[in-house]
Amino acid sequence: MTQQHTTLTLRLRCLWTACLLEHHWKKLGRLQKQTSGLELGSIKDLHCLERKIGREMALIHYFTQVYQLYIKGADHPERLAI
């Protein structure tokens, strides 16, 4: 793992933890229902989602997906760009 990947991992873990602490499980549960089956591949997708469910929830969803991709050992680091 490179230094860049290590830094990204730490940032994502901090963001993920902050999301969990700040928004609690109830909001995350609601978010999962609203975004079921939706994958974000770009910032453009993030903006579309923002209009549907609001900026705060869209960002949580985006970082959740990025974190999950990273945990799974994504073969495409460019998809992890924030």
Q: How far is CA 61 from CA 1, 4, 28, 55, 57, in A?
A: 25, 23, 8, 10, 6
pLDDT at position 81:
47
Full domain range(s) for residue 53: 3-80
Q: How many domains does the chain contain in total?
A: 1
Instruction: Tell me the whole-structure pTM to 2 decimals.
Output: 0.36
pLDDT at position 36:
57
The residue type at 9: T
**Residue pLDDT tens, the chain, 82 long:** 566 666 666 667 666 666 655 555 555 556 555 555 555 555 566 667 777 777 777 777 777 776 666 666 655 555 544 4
pLDDT at position 55:
73
